Every structure is written in structure tokens, then in C-alpha cells.
Amino acid sequence: MDMKSANRKLSLKDKYRLFTRDLGWEPSYRTREEIFPYVQYEGIKVHDWDKWEDPFRLTMDAYWKYQAEKERKFYAIIDAHAQNNGHLHITDARYLSALKIFLQAISPGEFCAHKGFARVGREFPGVGTQVACQMQAIDEIRHAQTQIHALSNYNRFYNGFHAFAEQRDRIWYTSVARSFFDDAMSAGPFEFMIAIGFSFEYVLTNLLFVPFMSGAAYNGDMATVTFGFSAQSDEARHMTLGLECIKFMLEQDPDNLPIVQRWIDKWFWRGFRVLGLVSTMMDYMLPKRVMSWREAWNIYGVENGGALFKDLARYGIRPPKGWNDAEEAVDHMSHQLMLGLYQWSFGTAFHAWIPSDEDMDWLAKKYPETFDRYYRPRWMHIRKLAAAGTPFKNYGLAKLCQCCQLPVVFTEPGDPTLSCHRERVHQGEKYHFCSDHCQALFENEPEKYVQAWLPMPQLFQDLQGDLTAWMDWVFLRDGEDNGDYADSLDRRNFEAWRAMATSNQ
Amino acid sequence: MQIDLRTVSIQPLRNTFDHLVRRFGDKPASRYQEGSYDIQAAENLHYRPTWDPEQELYDTGITRIVMQDWYALKDPRQFYYSTYTLTRARQQDSAEASFAFVESRGLAEALSDELRRTALDLLVPLRHAAWGANQNNTFICGYGYGTAFTQPCIYQAMDNLGIAQYLSRLGLLLGGTEALEAGKAAWTSGDAWQPLRRYVEDCLVLRDPFELFVAQNVALDGLLYPLVYEALVDDHLAGRGGSAVAMLTQFMSDWFAETGKWVDAVLKVAAAESEHNRAQLQTWIGAWSERAAAALLPVVGQVPGAEADELVGERVAAFKARLEKTGIAL
């Protein structure tokens, strides 16, 4: 028997098949329904799991080898960054607000993705699908950890990072991202794949990671840019998995189309609202800006997203329902949200500030149709109030959208001077929404969204509106973590330390 | 001579994150601590799962084990993603070297037909058992509570997949694709393998993450690895000229020794938590290990010249002694 030549005849594809899906078997002591109990109830029909095309072919030996190599590099760089006071190389400490939001709201999302992919990596009945999902599950805990580790050194020197774990569960604005991921995890395995694998990883991830990591590079943040680069090849795998998943569902049965389309509509809009936070980072929080939110949207939303939906049109998929309203909102959302963050900055574990003349000129150039007309006047008014010693603070609490959990600060489609607000009574209770799209999502699944935990009512229910008690409860240190950057400790420290490092004072 | 390079020295404002200060005191935290403790959401979960509205998204109530703090179940290896992958990459290097050594020296061809057949019959069907283990550990990671406990399970799951793939390579090397086909046929319909396959399928329907941890990582692995890799491959086959086979399964032996430390640590802390836990663990381990021993008996019995009853009896006794050290008497 000539085993060697027999082995050589195996193609890479066949070999990978033997190393993954050939490991499975048809159970006979237990039924498939008992083993995979959650795969039916969403109504997605799969006739043949073997039709699943492996989006990448990575065996464990190669996985360990490649990933260990990346880990070695990553930790070498962040160790050096910590040792050499790398934090003093950032443009200035305003930049840190973006990192604080990231650690409080986005890194916990990586962990949710980890858990969620472990669950679907068990619940899908196809071995190929399971293995691909499991690899994403282990990658996602990597991302949560590398982010925490990269930002850990900033926590030692700056405020606003120290209570990310508590604030993930308690502070108001993180519930935007938390409710997004909880929504996906509480969905069935197929919807989870559309929510995270497809919408988040494929459609939206470029809008989050590319601008964010480029922003880190532009602003001298070696630690963050390193985890960005290190995660890139993982993300490429995750994107191909997301795409394969949606194609698989659509190819398996024509009845799947309307279900998948509804999920795409839902998760596009959910994701777009989460990205509202990213828009403020890009337009306002980066001292040295990479590109405007509008420019990023044109490249990664319009061009890439457009090409994707053109590709999916052959399955009968149309672009998401909210697409046109999103397109219009892109010229307004960062300004509307940043004005909100400024007026509520007493309640945020990051700093906001009034943009300088130079900042405003840049914004006017990037948003020629909207900034000077609608937003500069408001910032100028806020600046006047600050100069008069009566800074604009809104101690009234934000009304949050029952669905996306952002404060209701956006305007009507077609009229940027009219605030957009929807309400609806469901079983005797009144619910508020930021838009028609969020209201529609509620109406599709009222039994889910009535359960939403809303952080603002919490303040009144349990804390009788006592702001100091609330700050203690969310681990917010008043006068340190919150408020205007202009008179923050972060700013004083950064400037003093930088002076120490760059002069002989 | 030591030269101290100087950097600008800045007094940090704090040592670490608040939640780690509360747990470990006001001092710098390790990367294991930063990457593990309290990183799972714990409060104000938004929605109940549509796949089982009786549960919370993260629910301590889906297992019978009760812990005041699930983060007490820490991993003595302190594995977080980085230390895990670096460790496995090193082991993979030496596994690769072993495969290369066996291949380049023609050691596989040098095995007697009988030995080769024995190795294939014993080891190749186990790639399916390893796949079952992968699914079980993925389940525990997905549904278990608290990252200290669940994080090692995704590592364990990927290890199980890696082991299934090493066994597939071994099968291909010693017998080509026909060997994998024969192994699968034995697994699905060979008499010797049916009790074990039934055991694995019964595990696949368990929805209590801790019971599954016991059934898979404590009871089944706790008997299967010592029996197959120590007693049969390293002792029995190697003593009859099958050292090449032992080289190809070195990873599994090392892996079992390492992961066993974690499994024991989890058991020890969970049992010490309460009498309720200890009694529950005793019941589970007693029942599952009895089944596992019975399921492994015919697997061992098919190896020519192996005294199955004696070998299983020895390993069951060793298993009991091991568990006694975790505070659980069987």
C-alpha cells in the first residue's frame, strides 16, 4: 500500500472536508430535533447543509500558528507603547473621548459577539457552518481582550476609562450598543447571523473600524492602531462568513427571502443608529480628522454597500428600507448627536466640547448644505452662553427611543428644522421612538421591545431623580470623568505631561 | 554592566479598572484578570431570548450548580487568548515535527500490518468523539455563566477540533482516506463503538452547562485519555514496536495533562462552595463516569492482547483517586 501517493492526491478542498464536515455523523440514538432545538422556529428552511460553501479553509494547526504570530507582535507593540509613555504622542487628549466610548460601548459588543457565535457555533446542524462560527467565537474574545489590553494603559493616566464594565451595564448611552447586541443574541441563530455576521460585520464594519482605526493612526495612537491592524485579517474572515451565510439562506429556499429581507431592513437600521456614535467621533472628537462622516458614508456605505446590494439583487434582495432616510440623515446626524452629547455631558464618562472656529470651518466645508445653515448658529449660541459663564446644560433627561435607545434628537426626513418624534400606545403603555423605522421595528416585535431596559426611567424609578446617587450608581466621578473638555483634569494633565516630555521646564 | 535608560516618569492616576480593584485590591492587574473578570454583561439585560423565553440572556439558573460568584472558577493556567494561542502554537510546532519525523523516516510503513490495523481501529473513530467534545465545549462556552468559567471552554472546544484533525491526519498517514471511511463506519455501526457513540449523543442533548462539563470534560475525557493514550498507545502499542504511533499522539497526552489541571481546579472550587454542589457533582460524576467506563470497555477490548477489564479497572481507580483530591468522593 502506497499511502504517501494516496495522500498527495487529496486536494486542499477535499482535505479540509475530511478535517471538518466529515467529522460529523447522522445521529441515531437521539434525534436531530433534540440536538439542534433552535433551528426551526424562525421559519428559515434549509434542505441541505452540505451545500454550505466553506468561506475560508483554516485548520486548527494553521489557526494557532498565524494567530500566535499576530499576538506576539501585538503585545510587543503595546508593551513598548506603555513603557515609553506612548499616550503622550496622541494629538491631544480630546481624542480620548472616542476611545472611552469605544471601550464602554463597543468592546463589550465584541464579547457579545463571542458568546453569540459560540451559541450558533453549537446550534447550527452543519459542521462546516459550526466550525466557521466557532472560529469567529474565539476571534471575538480575542478582540474584546486586545481592546481592553490596548486601552488599559490609558486608564492608568486618564479619566473615563476606569468603570467601563459597570458603565456597560448602567450608563445611558452604552445601552444603544448593548440593546443592539442583546437584540441580536436574543434572536434565533439565523437572525443572529444576519444581524452580526452580515449587517454588522459585512455592511457596517468598514464604517466603524476603518474610520476608527485610521483616526487612531492620524492621531498618534499606536496602541489602538495596532489592535486595528491585528484584527484586520480576522475581520476579513468574518466578512466572508457573513456573506456566505446570507447567500446560503437565500439559495436554500425561496421562502427564506421575505424573512431575510425583513432582517436586513431591521439590522441595517439598528446598525445605522449605533453608528450615530461613530459619526460624532469622526466629525468632532478626532483632533486630526481623517475624513468626514459623510465622506466615509460615501465610500463605505454608498459605494461598497451599493455594490453589495446590486450583487444580492439576483436573489431578489433589495436595499434596506431605511437606506434613503439614512442617506439624508448622514448630513445631520453627527451634529445633532454631538449637540446632544454636549448638553448632557454632565452625565457622560467622556468629555464633550464646543468646536473651535477652525473646527467649524472644517465642518462647514465638509457639510456645505447643512452645517452653516443649521448647526453653526447653535454652536455659536452655546459658545456665547459659555463665555457669559452660563454654559448650556440640559438637566432635563433625554427621552430615549424605545428601540435604538438614542435620545430623540433627530429631525424629520425632509425638514431639518422639525424634531422627529413618534409615539404609540401598546397595551395601555406609551412608547417613544426617534423615527418611523424604529417604530416599525417595535411594531414587528412588540413583545420583545416592551422588555427594553431604559436607563432614564431607571433614574426615576429607583433613585427618585437624585443625580448624585445616579452618578455613584454608574461609577461616574463628577468633575473628573464628565463635563467640558476645556476645564477637565485630562486636559490639564495631558498638557503638563507633554510639556515635561518635550521641554526642559 | 547594567545601564538604566531613562524615560520621563509620570505618576499614574490609578492602577487598574474599578471592578478589578474591588476584586483584587488597588494594584496593577494581570492581563488574565483584565481580559476575564466581569467582561460579560451582568445587569439590565434588555430582552429575553426568543429561543427560550424562560431564560435570561446570561442565566445562572440553567444549571443546578449554584455559585455565589461564578468568577471564582478561575483557570489556574490563566489562559486568555494570547497565552492560549502561544502555548498551542508551540505544541503544534512539536506535533508538526513529529509528523515530519515519522513521514520522512518512513516509520509508518515500518509498522507491522497488525499494529497499523490496531492503531487505525482504535484511534480513527475517536475523531468523531473529539468532534462531539468540540460541540459540547462550544455549548458550555455559549451558555455557561461568567467568563472565568466559559472562556477556557472555547479554547477546549478548539483543542477538541484540533485533536479531531490530528487523528484525521494520523488516519490518512497510516491508511489513507479508506481508513477514515472505515473509522466512520465503525463509529456509526461497529458494535465496539455504539455505547460510546450513545454516550456522546446523550451529551449533545444536555442543556445544563455544568452537567455537560462533568459528562464531557470530567467523566469521559477523564477515562478516555488515560486509557487510550497512556495505557494503550504509550504503553501497549509502544511496547510492541508502535512508538511511531505514540509520537503522533504526543499532543493528546500533553494536552490531557495540562487541561486536567483546569478541570480539577473548577471541580475543587465548585465542590467547596456548598454541600449542595458537592452532592450534585458526586451524583453526576458517579453516574457519568460509570457510563463512560462501560462505554470504553469494548473500545479497549478490541485491541489485541489488551486486558480490557483490568485496564479499565485500573484507570477507574486512578480517576477516583484524582477526584478525591478535588474533594469529591465517589
Sign of the C-alpha dihedral computed for residues B317, B318, B324 and B330 taken in this order: negative
- Spatial separation of the C-alpha atoms in residues B187 and B191, rounded to whole Å: 9
Is A103's Cβ below 8 Å from some Cβ in B?
no
Lowest mean per-residue pLDDT among A1-15, A153-167, A237-251, B96-110: A1-15
Per-residue confidence (pLDDT) for residue A432, from 0 to 100: 97
The predicted model gives A2-24 an average pLDDT of 79
The answer to the question of residue A152 being in a domain is: yes
Adjacent-strand bridge partners of B195: none
Q: What is the pLDDT of residues B247-278, one digit of tens each?
A: 999 999 999 999 999 999 999 999 999 999 99
Which position has the grid cell 466621578?
A477
Cβ within 8 Å, pair B18-A165? yes
Q: What is the pLDDT of residues A351-389, one digit of tens each?
A: 999 999 999 999 999 999 999 999 999 999 999 999 999
Can you list the alpha helix ranges (DSSP code H) found in A1-106?
Answer: 3-8, 12-19, 32-35, 60-83, 96-101
Q: Which domain holds residue A262?
A: 67-353+392-397+466-502
Q: Is the pLDDT of residue A448 over 60?
A: yes
Residues of A in contact with B39 (CB under 8 A): 108, 111, 144, 148, 165
Per-residue confidence (pLDDT) for residue B91, from 0 to 100: 97
Strands A422-426 and A429-433: antiparallel
Residues of B in contact with A10 (CB under 8 A): 172, 177
Query: What does the mean pLDDT of chain A come to?
Result: 94
Q: How many CB atoms lie within 10 A of CB A344?
A: 21
The answer to the question of residue A52 being in a domain is: no
* CA neighbours closer than 13 Å in the CB half-sphere of residue B178: 7
- Asked if residue B60 lies in contact with residue B67, where contact means CB atoms within 8 angstroms, the answer is yes
Q: How many CB atoms lie within 10 A of CB A436?
A: 16
Q: DSSP state, A352?
A: B
Q: Is the pLDDT of residue A165 over 80?
A: yes
The residues, any chain, with a CB within 8 Å of residue A124's CB and separated by 6 or more, are: A36, A39, A49, A130, A133, A189
- Spatial separation of the C-alpha atoms in residues A318 and A313, rounded to whole Å: 6
Residues of B in contact with A122 (CB under 8 A): 135, 138-139, 142
Q: What is the pLDDT of residues A342-353, one digit of tens each?
A: 999 999 999 999
Q: Is the pLDDT of residue A417 over 90?
A: yes
The predicted model gives A52-78 an average pLDDT of 95
Residues of A in contact with B14 (CB under 8 A): 155-156, 162
The answer to the question of residue A386 being in a domain is: no
The predicted model gives A212-221 an average pLDDT of 93
- Asked if residue A355 lies in contact with residue A301, where contact means CB atoms within 8 angstroms, the answer is no
Adjacent-strand bridge partners of A407: A400
Residues of A in contact with B99 (CB under 8 A): none
Cβ within 8 Å, pair B176-A1? yes
Can you list the alpha helix ranges (DSSP code H) found in A84-185?
Answer: 96-101, 107-123, 127-157, 164-170, 174-185
Q: What is the pLDDT of residues B142-183, one digit of tens each?
A: 999 999 999 999 999 999 999 999 999 999 999 999 999 999
Per-residue confidence (pLDDT) for residue B179, from 0 to 100: 98
The answer to the question of residue A444 being in a domain is: no
Of the candidates B287, B302, B137, B262, which has an alpha carbon nearest to the alpha carbon of residue B210?
B137
Give the cell for residue A284: 468632532
Q: At how many degrees (to 10) do helices B275-301 and B194-204 cross? A: 150
Q: Tell me how close the Cα of B220 comes to any Cα of chain A, in angstroms.
A: 18
Please state the φ and ψ torsions of residue A431, each to the nearest 5 degrees.
Answer: -125, 145
Per-residue confidence (pLDDT) for residue A2, from 0 to 100: 43
Which position has the grid cell 487541561?
B259
> How many helices (H) and strands (E) would you count in chain A?
24, 4
Which contacts of A233-238 are long-range, i.e. CB under 8 A and separated by 24 or more positions? Answer: A233/A66, A233/A70, A234/A139, A234/A142, A234/A143, A235/A201, A235/A205, A235/A209, A237/A55, A237/A56, A237/A58, A237/A135, A237/A136, A237/A139, A238/A136, A238/A139, A238/A197, A238/A201, A238/A205
**How many interface pairs between A and B have CB atoms less than 8 angstroms apart?**
257
- Spatial separation of the C-alpha atoms in residues A70 and A441, rounded to whole Å: 40
Q: Is the pLDDT of residue A3 over 90?
A: no
Per-residue confidence (pLDDT) for residue A124, from 0 to 100: 97
Which position has the grid cell 433627561?
A397
Give the cell for residue A39: 433551528
- Spatial separation of the C-alpha atoms in residues A405 and A449, rounded to whole Å: 11
Q: What share of chain B is helix, strand, coil (3-state, %, to 5)?
A: 70, 0, 30
Adjacent-strand bridge partners of A411: A419
Q: What is the pLDDT of residues B61-71, one digit of tens each?
A: 999 999 999 99
Q: Tell me how close the Cα of B141 comes to any Cα of chain A, in angstroms.
A: 6
Per-residue confidence (pLDDT) for residue A398, from 0 to 100: 81
Of the candidates B262, B247, B252, which has an alpha carbon nearest to the alpha carbon of residue B227?
B252
Per-residue confidence (pLDDT) for residue B322, from 0 to 100: 98
Residue B106 region by backbone torsions, left for phi larger than 0, else alpha for psi between -120 and 50, else beta: left
Q: How confident is the model at residue A440 (pLDDT cuts 50, 70, 90)?
A: very high
Q: What is the pLDDT of residues B174-211, one digit of tens each?
A: 999 999 999 999 999 999 999 999 999 999 999 999 99
**DSSP code string of B42-99:** -S------TT-TTS-SS-GGGSS---S-GGGS--TT---HHHHHHHHHHHHHHHHHHH
How many residues in chain A? 505
- Asked if residue B171 lies in contact with residue B183, where contact means CB atoms within 8 angstroms, the answer is yes
CA B43, distance to chain mean position in Å, is 31
- Asked if residue B85 lies in contact with residue A64, where contact means CB atoms within 8 angstroms, the answer is yes
Q: Which of A71, A114, A115 sits opposite B86 (nearest CB)?
A: A71
Per-residue confidence (pLDDT) for residue B1, from 0 to 100: 62
Looking at residue B204, its amino acid is L
User: Residue A350 in 3-state DSSP?
Assistant: coil
Cβ within 8 Å, pair A29-B14? no
Q: Is the pLDDT of residue A298 over 90?
A: yes
**CATH number, domain with residue A173:** 1.10.620.20
Q: Quick one: which H or E segment has residue A267?
A: helix A256-280
Q: Is the pLDDT of residue A1 over 50?
A: no
Share of chain A above pLDDT 70, in %: 98
Q: Is the pLDDT of residue A466 over 90?
A: no
Q: Which of A83, A158, A166 sits opposite B19 (nearest CB)?
A: A166
CA of A223: how far to CAs of A77, A227, A229, B32, B80, in Å? 7, 7, 10, 18, 19
Which position has the grid cell 465496539?
B192
Per-residue confidence (pLDDT) for residue A397, from 0 to 100: 77
Q: How confident is the model at residue A207 (pLDDT cuts 50, 70, 90)?
A: confident
Cβ within 8 Å, pair A497-B18? no
Cβ within 8 Å, pair A112-B41? yes
Q: How confident is the model at residue A12 (pLDDT cuts 50, 70, 90)?
A: confident
Count the domains in chain A: 1
- Asked if residue A99 lies in contact with residue A129, where contact means CB atoms within 8 angstroms, the answer is no
Q: Which of A18, A37, A185 sits opposite B57 (nearest CB)?
A: A185
Q: Tell me how close the Cα of B330 comes to any Cα of chain A, in angstroms.
A: 28
The answer to the question of residue A461 being in a domain is: no
Q: Which of A67, A137, A187 sits opposite B154 (nearest CB)?
A: A137
Q: What share of chain A is helix, strand, coil (3-state, %, to 5)?
A: 65, 5, 30
Cβ within 8 Å, pair B143-A119? yes
Give the cell for residue A94: 480630546
Q: Which of A59, A68, A175 sits opposite B85 (nearest CB)?
A: A68
- Asked if residue B81 lies in contact with residue A71, where contact means CB atoms within 8 angstroms, the answer is yes
**DSSP code string of A411-478:** EETTEEEEE--EEEEETTEEEEESSHHHHHHHHHSHHHHTT---HHHHHHHTTTT-HHHHHHHTT--T
Residue A220 region by backbone torsions, left for phi larger than 0, else alpha for psi between -120 and 50, else beta: left
- Asked if residue A208 lies in contact with residue A275, where contact means CB atoms within 8 angstroms, the answer is yes
Residues of B in contact with A18 (CB under 8 A): 168, 172, 177, 180
Q: Is the pLDDT of residue A473 over 50?
A: yes
Of the candidates A201, A189, A207, which has an alpha carbon nearest to the alpha carbon of residue A115?
A189
Q: Tell me how close the Cα of A107 comes to any Cα of chain B, in angstroms.
A: 9
Q: How many CB atoms lie within 10 A of CB A360?
A: 18
- Spatial separation of the C-alpha atoms in residues A452 and A175, rounded to whole Å: 10
Share of chain B above pLDDT 70, in %: 98
The predicted model gives A163-187 an average pLDDT of 97
Which of A75, A96, A104, A134 would you mutate first to test chain B, the one with the most B CBs within 10 A?
A134
Which of B14, B47, B213 would you mutate first to test chain A, the one with the most A CBs within 10 A?
B47
Q: How confident is the model at residue A505 (pLDDT cuts 50, 70, 90)?
A: low
> ipTM of this predicted complex?
0.97
- Spatial separation of the C-alpha atoms in residues A440 and A266, rounded to whole Å: 9
The CATH code for residues B80-324 is 1.10.620.20
Q: How confident is the model at residue B5 (pLDDT cuts 50, 70, 90)?
A: low
> How many helices (H) and strands (E) would you count in chain B?
15, 0
